[in-house]
Amino acid sequence: MSLTLRTISREQHLAYIQSLPAASHMQVPAWADVKAEWRSESLGWFDADGELVGAGLVLYRQVPKVKLYLAYLPEGPVINWYSPNLEDWLQPMLKHLKQQGAFTVKMGPPVIIRRWDAAAIKAGIQNPDVKRLRDVEATHIEPRAFEVADKLRRMGWQQGEDGGAGFADVQPRYVFQVPLANRSLEDVHKGFNQLWRRNIKKAEKAGVEVVQGSYDELDEWQRLYEITAERDHFRPRPIGYFQRMWKALNAEDPNRMRLYFARHEGENVAAATMLIVGGHVWYSYGASANHKREVRPSNAMQWRMLRDAYALGATVYDLRGISDSLDENDHLFGLIQFKVGTGGQAAEYLGEWDFPLNKLLHKAFDMYMARR
């Protein structure tokens, strides 16, 4: 199969993404505008008939003081990863990126290698010998994903440093997803654990209402998000980031990004952002106040978002990253505990892979990043 690769227009790129059942929100052309501090390029793969058969959003970050770049394809490129001739897809990409001044390439193949259903995770949590998700037998394994990993290694790609334990990767290697395809909403609700069902009922009884917010309410979102950041000890993104995200994504597709608020007695007590690309819907950022937690606004909001995703015809509702720690003393354990209550599945991606085009510079850059 002969493939050619060249730069494509944003219009071509978007049309290709729209022709697919789904793709990562980090591979739509507008994501380049969200990441305004990076230079960007849309790449297209064409078959022998001149038809566009793959696309990739590349973000270039310049190294301080030199005209060299880290080329990054977050959760991409969007190609046929199971193709028997994977090198025919990736070699022209590496050649092109080198010509563009890249000294190293980082990509995140959107390939899931294992899944664990809620029951398996719950059993793992209850077993004192189990400390990590990978110690639990997977409910589903994708053998072709192991072939992809083998091919990448043979081509000289290197798997991200920590082998993907949680958040050290640029993108989370482990995510939590609620499958919606071929299920009724009643099935989804039945899949929730008792605590979730009880909390949804509690919120309803207390009169919590969930509403969609607008661009003008992003400052209210930011207020709740900064409260959350302080409580959970992470550095919040500035409001400008969310404003840019809203404008860029919704200019590309008016239904790409949504904002939700959970209100109690007229007061916003929880908020979340949602992203939509085809049949894949993500809960991307969440926030909540320090008080009124007893009325369970977060459960009510997730249930509303799930129902909205279902109404949009989504095949998967993605709660994004989890750590792979099943240790109750781990500070990230609460996250998996909250998400597992939805009765969905934990999924492990292949993780991020690097290709050093200039080994010396790649090593120096790695050391520079490690010191930051």
274-302 tens-digit pLDDT: 999 999 999 999 999 999 989 999 999 99
d(CA 318, CA 176): 6
d(CA 59, CA 209): 39
Each domain of the chain, given as residue ranges in start order, spans 4-108+352-370, 112-349
258, 212 contact by CB (below 8 A): yes
188, 345 contact by CB (below 8 A): no
Which residues, in sequence order, are bridge partners of residue 316?
179, 280
44, 5 contact by CB (below 8 A): yes
* Residue 37 CB contacts under 8 Å (≥ 6 apart), including other chains: 61
DSSP letter, residue 137:
P
CATH 3.40.630.30 is held by the domain 112-349: yes
CATH 3.10.350.10 is held by the domain 4-108+352-370: no
Residue 9's Cβ-count burial label (10 Å; 0-12, 13-18, 19+) is exposed
d(CA 178, CA 30): 26
Residue 168, pLDDT score: 41
d(CA 212, CA 106): 36
Residue 167, pLDDT score: 36
Residue 288, pLDDT score: 96
The packing angle between helices 194-206 and 297-311, to 10°, is 100
Nearest Cα neighbor of 343 from 200, 190, 184 is 190
Q: What residues of the chain score a pLDDT lower than 50?
A: 163-169
Pairing of strands 345-349, 112-117: antiparallel
d(CA 72, CA 352): 10
Which residues, in sequence order, are bridge partners of residue 44?
6, 55
Enter the tokens of residue 250.
């919704």
Identify residue 144 by its one-letter amino acid code. Answer: R
Question: Around Cβ 232, how many Cβ atoms within 10 Å?
Answer: 14
Compute and round to an integer the Cα radius of gyration of the chain.
21
Residue that is written with structure tokens 């697919």 in the block:
20
The separation between CA 35 and the C-alpha centre of its own chain, rounded to angstroms, equals: 15
Residue 268's Cβ-count burial label (10 Å; 0-12, 13-18, 19+) is buried
d(CA 356, CA 41): 20
